[in-house]
Structure 1
Amino acid sequence: MRQRPDTVMLFAAGFGTRMGALTHDLPKPLIKVAGKALIDHALAQVRAADLDRIVVNAHYKADQIRAHVAESDILVSHESPDLLDTGGGLRAALPLTGPGPLFTMNTDAVWAGPNPLVALASKWDPDRMDALLLCVSPTRAIGHAGAGDFELDNQGRATRGPGLVYTGAQILKSDLLAHIPDDVFSLNLLWDRMIKAGRLYGLPYDGHWCDVGHPAGIALAEDMLRNADV
């Protein structure tokens, strides 16, 4: 089993209902921000991290996702007939990702700062961790409302509570998915088990991150990117 992850799973299967009319004919990962599809913003981070294998899941408008990546080396896990949520979707993709720890990353966010996957890899310790979540201070979480998702102790162990916002990027030991009996489930279920075992960790991100899961996030992300280029 590999210890340093060389595979990433990109989540691109959701309906994008928060985007309203923008996702009537288009899956959310293909909505453009600063002239580039959201999924391509995520792929830019992946390519810069020099990973060996890229897997993307697809369900809503899956044919458009598949066509968008058709000329690349990206593998597509097509969730059909049902949407499987993050945990079920990741488990369904394991024949493509292979065994061992891997990165997962949402495709509805834009980053300004250090490469998030490189940051995670630099702190990954499989002897202590079952997952390492990349989190950001609410002051650096653009377009995100709420008090945060996780609190970290002085060793970096994560527990539920207001504090840092989960960015949608992590390293996870995928073999632990086998212990969940349900077909459709969120990774939150797995994280809660890790919290009880003291093996869920978080890493603060010192760049900026923008949630583009809602229409207002598009302009916010474009403004963030312009300021980052100044």
Structure 2
Amino acid sequence: MPVRQNKNSKLFVIGGPNAYGEIPGVQAFGYDPQRTLQRRGTNTFSGDGPVAITDNFEGVTGSFDIEGVEGEKAVMAYAARQDLTTFVSYHPSNNMPVYIVAKNFDDDGVTPLSCDFIDTAKIGTLRRGVITNAAQFPFEALKYKEVFDNEIVIEEFDGAATPVTDLTLSGTATALKDKDGNTYYALLVLKQTSGGTVERLELADVAADGYYSETETAITLSTDDGLNTDDKALVVYVKA
């Protein structure tokens, strides 16, 4: 498994708009995007997920190492989609799908070298080192995206008494291509209601219930998905 150890790396775990953030104390991060899988069909796997019917789809596997209780607590809270400030304890069976963003910077700590987006990951039970007492969190995910010389940005949007449907990005998003050659901008759009329900919205030409439309500078939600007071949305994209 390739492991990245960079003194200027940052790792973010996203459970939802109310449960995400940078993880302190990360010592290493790595993943293997080419798992050995039993499969049927004539095609193979790629960074966009399976392109053939499979017996056992596991996709991406990896792990990250953390030193310090603050980092451990943050991972556990976000994996359970709980507010970090009120989090006390959890059980691995309560883990929900999360999304992972890893940012690697040059020696100046500002210039981006590469970034990784791990899409729809499930974090497993931590393993603790005998000598260092560091915690290692394994994960498996459906797919990944790796970008170079650009930064992956996470932006949060609040709701209002008049539902918010226009999410204007602070910067311009870089155009990306899917496996079919279609252009898209957002890596992830999440909505969390005041009741705590987290929903991933999907891309469409026209915004509708459960779907958003996009340009390089804005995400448009449908009136059904508009952000009310105490609702939040999270958008992840590659900054141009």
TM-score by length of 1: 0.24
Q: Which has the higher helix share?
A: 1
Rg larger for: 2
Larger RCO: Structure 1 or Structure 2 (Cα < 8 Å, ≥ 6 residues apart)? 1
Between structures 1 and 2, the one with greater strand share? 2
Q: TM-score, normalising length from structure 2?
A: 0.24
